[in-house]
Amino acid sequence: MIVYDRLWETMRNKGVTQYSLIHDYNINEAQLDRFRKNTVIKTSTIDRICEILDCNVEDICQYVRNTSEK
């Protein structure tokens, strides 16, 4: 499973708030909600977030093995 926990830390480190993503960069609130819930995110959205934050993909997400699956 892909989780986006690193996104919030990277945003904090870069001084970028959710408010600024929504109002300054026109990122949809629904997209931020998907990041929060670790649900499906388009690669184009990930690309845009990386561009805004001037970071790499691994700075906003990571793969975590689902231990309940066999």
User: With 70 as the cut, is the pLDDT of residue 64 above it?
Assistant: yes
DSSP string, 11-57: HHHHT--HHHHHHTS---HHHHHHHHHT----HHHHHHHHHHHT--G
| pLDDT cut 90: percent of the chain above it | 93
Segment 42-57, tens digit of pLDDT: 999 999 999 999 999 9
* Domains delineated in the chain: 2-63 (1.10.260.40)
Q: What is the mean pLDDT of the chain?
A: 94
